[in-house]
Amino acid sequence: MPADLATKAAADGAPSPKPPAQSPARILIVDDHEDNIEVLKVRLESWGYETASAYNGHDALTYVVATPPDLILLDVMMPEISGIEVARQIKGNGALPFIPIIMQTALDSTEDKVEGLEAGADDYITKPIDFAELKARLRSMLRIKRLQDALEERERELLEVNERLRYMSQTDALTGLDNRRHLNERIDEMFAHAKRLDEPFSLVMADLDKFKSVNDTYGHQAGDEVLKQLAAILREEAREIDRVGRYGGEEFMLLLPGAQIDDAYTFAERVRNRIEGHTFTFPGGTLTRTASFGVASWPHDKIREADDLVRSSDDALYVAKETGRNRVVRFDGDEFNAHQAANDGNAEPRPDFGEPEPGGAPAAG
Ligand code: GH3
Ligand code: MG
Ligand code: MG
């Protein structure tokens, strides 16, 4: 027998003394006897509920998955798939919302009741049905359903808010890249991973050259635009598995898992080249700019922890700034070491990438 799955609103009858809900609840009646369905349907609709019906377990399950009703009035005794099995499948389906199930059981069948409740039914009513009792049980179950729905909605909202907060706490608002805090977490994680797998891991530190003059000459908004466009370039050049972040004002960090120092150098050189050839646009003008890079990699005998990797690439970046900018310097490379050796006698604390002093540290060859 084909299942009558049409939903029908309670249209005609006079309004019931107390409407069950703001929008009428939709109740699925499952029974293998057409007469039973008809009787229940008329009653339920006269109370202001919408109804749908299914004549067997299979059709009931199909209907519930497609359009979860607000409540199911479920006959236990059905051929093929019993009501018990239907209840078990519905309650076991994690994708479904909470749907109260009221089992219809034979008056004398304690076994059915116990089994039904164990299968996940929320309540039961014995046949022949006492309609006053049914009405009360429907109301009570639908009240629980409304509370449960509200709770689930709250939970969803909380999850969304949490997700937004997590994103905000990890992301740099201007560029959309990882922020410094998130980068630090990532470095620790990725470094530990690299060590575990004995795979190389590189870090590239990039800093725009003379960026202060962009703000001074064109204004802060132009500066922001440059930072955003630079972020886009970095993202484009990086691989899927790399992490790109903004470490500070105009300082960016790239984490390259699996990359050896030569790979990292080649990568940084490519990015450097691209920035050098890029025209940054902002409302009211265009400009070009260069960037300096420091790269460091594990394994290296001076790099034991994530912090060492950060410090080493930062030191290399410093040398890139000192030796003329718009260049890539590798930690512990010839250029780096020559510069360190030339500076050995000069134990001054290192300035923060400011203008090199006239007649300051000599550039290394
Ligand atoms: P160097 O080549 O030595 O790196 O010189 P620099 O001018 O780039 O470096 P400095 O550290 O002297 O100045 C960095 C400037 O970056 C100063 C600050 O105004 C600017 N800056 C930092 N964060 C932002 C930002 O979010 N937006 C804008 N527009 N400017 C920023
Ligand atoms: Mg700079
Ligand atoms: Mg800087």
258-290 pLDDT, tens per residue?
Answer: 999 999 999 999 999 999 999 999 998 999 999
H helical segments located in the chain: 34-46, 57-66, 83-92, 110-118, 131-170, 180-197, 212-218, 220-237, 261-276, 306-322, 334-342
Q: Is the CB of 250 under 6 A from ligand 1?
A: yes
The pLDDT assigned to 109 comes to: 77
Q: Is the CB of 174 under 6 A from ligand 1?
A: yes
> Tokens 């005794």 label which residue?
77
Half-sphere exposure of 253 (CA within 13 A, CB side): 27
The pLDDT assigned to 241 comes to: 96
pLDDT digits (tens, 9 = 90+) for 86-117: 999 999 999 999 999 999 988 677 888 888 88
| Mean pLDDT (the chain, rounded) | 90
* Residue 217 predicted with pLDDT over 60: yes
The pLDDT assigned to 140 comes to: 97
210 C-alpha to ligand 2 centroid (Å): 5
The pLDDT assigned to 29 comes to: 97
Omega of the bond leading into 257 within 30 degrees of 0 (cis): no
Residue with the smallest CA separation from ligand 1 atom 10 is: 212
CATH topology for 19-155? Rossmann fold (3.40.50)
Taking the CA of 325 as reference, the closest ligand is 1
Sort residue 198 into left (φ over 0), alpha (ψ -120 to 50) or beta: left
For residue 168, give Cα distances in angstroms to 186, 231, 241, 352. Answer: 16, 17, 21, 28
The pLDDT assigned to 19 comes to: 47
Q: Is the CB of 20 under 6 A from ligand 1?
A: no
pLDDT digits (tens, 9 = 90+) for 136-190: 999 999 999 999 999 999 999 999 999 999 999 999 999 999 999 999 999 999 9
Of ligand 1's listed atoms, the one at least distance from the Cα of 220 is 29
> pTM for this one?
0.71
What are the tokens at 81? 């798939």
Residue with the smallest CA separation from ligand 1 atom 3 is: 353
Residue with the smallest CA separation from ligand 1 atom 16 is: 212
Q: What value does the mean pLDDT take over residues 349-358?
A: 49
The pLDDT assigned to 317 comes to: 98
The pLDDT assigned to 357 comes to: 43
What are the tokens at 327? 């260049």
* Residue 355 predicted with pLDDT over 90: no
Domain ranges of the chain: 19-155, 180-342
Active site residues: 250
Domain 180-342 top-level CATH class: alpha beta
The pLDDT assigned to 110 comes to: 84
Q: Is the CB of 354 under 6 A from ligand 1?
A: yes
* Residue 296 predicted with pLDDT over 80: yes
Which segment of 15-19, 255-259, 316-320 scores lowest on mean pLDDT? Answer: 15-19
Local confidence band at 351 (pLDDT 50, 70, 90 cut-offs): low
Chain centroid to CA 325: 39
pLDDT digits (tens, 9 = 90+) for 57-89: 999 999 999 999 999 999 998 988 999 999 999
The pLDDT assigned to 39 comes to: 96
193 C-alpha to ligand 3 centroid (Å): 29
